Amino acid sequence: MTKLRLLLFIWSIFWSLAALAQQDPMLTNYHFNSLVFNPAYAGSNEHFTLNLSHRQQWLGFDGAPVTQTLTAHSPLRNERVGVGFSLANDKIGPGGSTDLGASYAYRMQVGASKKLKLSLGLQASVANWRGQFSEITVEHTDDPSFQENLSRWLPNFGAGAYLYGEKFYLGLGCPRILEHDLRKTKNDTEGLFAKNYRNLYISAGAAFPFKGDQLVFRPSLLLQNAGFLSDVKKEAIGQNIGAPLSANLGAAILFRQLFWVGTSYRTALSGKSSHDSANLWLAWSLRNGMRFGASYDITLSKIRLASSNSFEIMLGYEFDIKVKQVASPRYF
């Protein structure tokens, strides 16, 4: 029984970190997948944009997160309106989720110069959450807690705002506002349980061109708060569970409107969590609108003692990119 309790304790810690810190996909190349965390981003590229990514986290760690995302968005004939579609699949240990979302954004000019746009977005989504408890190896095989797999369909909605121009952006997004208790029953009194928590994102960035548009420097910042306006600690019976405010601080250089080279640093801004990772990424845009990208994360936290680093690959396509690049270069 002692081994079973130890297993439950370790698994609950791992799942709590996953549920709070990474219920939403964590992407190093998030610049090209902003629709995942902010529905107001829909249509902001001014042409149809498609992006696919795959992330393998903590190589060599059994049950480590594996994430795939697919996003597509475009403005409509009414240029004030943008629509988008997102699909995210996460596999973390014995649990996993698949989230499908549709976004609508309404965009308007800001100021007399009309160089800035404000986009307000809404999202409707549904997620399938899965708990494959039968995959866990336990000492007592007749324990009913590990004989039943769970599958829940969780409807949700989100909202966001995105202020942007040619050389500046500021975003606020909450893709899933509703929170869902994932215990077997609502009357379950077990102290260990999982829950979908609300995640809030704040993004900001700027572009500084040099030598015309041949060389562009772009700093960026992404803040994530898990459990926004939730009393996380009181809900975890007898446990002090919570995810600190995290930050991804980055900088990138764009060469000749084609080749990105970037680096970023991911860390916690509160709590006892340590530095998470130092990241390197590349993206190459072809003249026909095709884009390839990859990133490599160097793990800095203590989990590096039991695993290796993380990597991510990306494939995208931007329709009508030739016309739009000449008319209005895009840095975000």
Report DSSP letters for 291-312, one per residue: EEEEEEEEE-SGGGGT---EEE
User: Of 272 and 300, which is predicted with more confidence?
Assistant: 300
- pLDDT reading at 6 higher than 80: no
How much is the pLDDT for 71? Answer: 96
Long-range contacts of 227-230 (CB under 8 A, 24+ apart): 227/20, 227/197, 227/198, 228/174, 228/197, 228/198, 228/199, 228/200, 229/198, 230/179, 230/197, 230/198
Please compute, for residue 263, the number of CA atoms within 13 A of its CA located in the half-sphere on the CB side: 2
User: Of 89 and 212, which is predicted with more confidence?
Assistant: 89
- pLDDT reading at 220 higher than 70: yes
Residues 144, 4: Cα–Cα separation, whole Å: 13
Provide mean pLDDT across the span 248-259: 92
Q: What percent of the chain has pLDDT over 70?
A: 76
User: Which residue stretches of the chain are H helix?
Assistant: 2-21, 232-235, 321-327
How much is the pLDDT for 232? Answer: 56
Residues 35, 32: Cα–Cα separation, whole Å: 8
Model confidence band, residue 143 (pLDDT cutoffs 50, 70, 90): low
| pTM of the predicted protein model | 0.84
How much is the pLDDT for 272? Answer: 60
Structure tokens at 76: 């409509």
- pLDDT reading at 188 higher than 60: no
Question: Sign of dihedral through CA atoms 256, 257, 260, 266?
Answer: positive
Burial 202-227 (b: 16+ CB within 10 A, else e): bbebbbebeeeeeebebebebbbbbb
Structure tokens at 217: 């420097």
How much is the pLDDT for 276? Answer: 84
Structure tokens at 210: 């040099």
Provide mean pLDDT across the span 253-282: 86
Residues 179, 166: Cα–Cα separation, whole Å: 36
Residues 5, 305: Cα–Cα separation, whole Å: 24
Provide mean pLDDT across the span 314-331: 66
Domains of the chain: 2-327 (2.40.160.40)
Model confidence band, residue 9 (pLDDT cutoffs 50, 70, 90): very low
Q: Under the phi-then-psi rule, with left for phi > 0, alpha for psi from -120 to 50, and beta for the rest, what region is 32?
A: alpha
How much is the pLDDT for 213? Answer: 76
Model confidence band, residue 302 (pLDDT cutoffs 50, 70, 90): confident
Which region among 38-42, 221-225, 228-232 has the lowest average model confidence (pLDDT)? Answer: 228-232
Q: What percent of the chain has pLDDT over 90?
A: 45
Model confidence band, residue 270 (pLDDT cutoffs 50, 70, 90): low
Provide mean pLDDT across the span 82-87: 96
- pLDDT reading at 22 higher than 60: no
The beta strand positions in the chain, using DSSP E, are 49-56, 66-75, 81-92, 95-110, 116-131, 150-164, 168-174, 180-181, 195-196, 199-206, 208-210, 215-226, 246-255, 259-268, 277-285, 290-299, 310-318
Structure tokens at 261: 């080279």
Phi, psi of 199 (to 5 degrees): -115, 130
Phi, psi of 92 (to 5 degrees): -135, 110
Provide mean pLDDT across the span 122-130: 94
Cβ atoms within 10 Å, residue 194 = 20
- pLDDT reading at 295 higher than 70: yes
DSSP assignment, residue 240? -
